[in-house]
Amino acid sequence: MSKIIIFLGPPGAGKGTQSQLLKERNGFIQISTGDLLREAVKNQTELGKLAKQYMDEGKLVPDDLIISLIKEKLQEYADKNIIFDGFPRTIPQAESLDNLLSHLNKNVDAVILFKIEDDEVVKRLAGRRVCPSCGAVYHMIYNPPKTDEICDKCGARLIQRDDDKEEVIRKRLEVYHQQTKPLIEYYKNKIVEIDATDNPKNIYNKIASMI
Ligand code: ADP
Ligand code: AMP
């Protein structure tokens, strides 16, 4: 039976970093709504045009857009082990996911909660650099590329995300506390907490041993 895992936690907690490792080493499919939305914005699709302003302001994209995106992906990857990275982010999104999964005779197996303080998140996001070509994630101090500003994996020039600016980061954190944190109660029987301030290798080992 395939596994469905949710990575829950504030922006910058390290969800994408760990998803990437589980994808490379354990064959999980990573479904990141943030990555899917950024791709839609880049390709100027209808979804991208609708989502852009919310993302630039650090607000959540409306639930109905996110849910139809997920519905499509679940059909595509019905039999795979999946990590949802950055989804669900609201109670209605979580209810819709349960509903979609029940039609496939599945359910959420575990929710990994990444615990980290806001000030550390700000430091992480301000130093984050991403590869626009292959999606690899770096940090200028904690996880720098071998050559300045160049992706180790594919050689592309790294960029800073538009929403990784301090005022947008603060807004994203506020949105997390108000709209996403209620999911901790919603998933209380499935939550496993991890200390997201530990180093990436230890975090990976903990998650890999659990799932
Ligand atoms: P999220 O997907 O939760 O928004 P990321 O995985 O993109 O978070 O990580 C945010 C930033 O923090 C990146 O610059 C990343 O390199 C760095 N980072 C990720 N995990 C750790 C860690 N365990 N310790 C220190 N820095 C980390
Ligand atoms: P992320 O890459 O997860 O940090 O997401 C970047 C931005 O995309 C967020 O600040 C939101 O604007 C939007 N977004 C990503 N996932 C969701 C979601 N599940 N629900 C609503 N908005 C989302």
| Mean pLDDT, residues 71-96 | 95
84 forms beta bridges with 6, 31
- Whether 13 is in the pocket of ligand 1, judged by its Cβ within 6 Å, is yes
Going from the Cα of 167 to the center of ligand 2, the distance in angstroms, rounded, reads: 16
| Best CA proximity match to 85, nearest among 198, 6, 155, 199 | 6
- Whether 142 is in the pocket of ligand 1, judged by its Cβ within 6 Å, is yes
- Whether 38 is in the pocket of ligand 1, judged by its Cβ within 6 Å, is no
Contacts of 172 (CB under 8 A, 6+ apart): 10, 11, 58, 163
Q: What percent of the chain has pLDDT over 70?
A: 100
| Best CA proximity match to 194, nearest among 116, 84, 83, 81 | 116
pTM: 0.97
Domains and CATH numbers, the chain: 4-116+178-210 (3.40.50.300)
Q: How far is residue 60's CA from residue 51's CA, in Å, rounded to a whole number?
A: 9
Going from the Cα of 85 to the center of ligand 2, the distance in angstroms, rounded, reads: 10
State the amino acid at position 153 in one-letter form.
K
Summarised one tens digit per residue, pLDDT across range 28-71 is 999 999 999 999 999 999 999 999 999 999 999 999 999 999 99
Going from the Cα of 102 to the center of ligand 1, the distance in angstroms, rounded, reads: 32
* Burial of 59: CB neighbours in 10 Å, binned 0-12, 13-18, 19+: middle
Q: How far is residue 185's CA from residue 147's CA, in Å, rounded to a whole number?
A: 43
Q: How far is residue 113's CA from residue 58's CA, in Å, rounded to a whole number?
A: 21
Q: Is the separation of the CB atoms in 7 and 206 below 8 Å? A: no
The overall average pLDDT reported for the chain is: 96
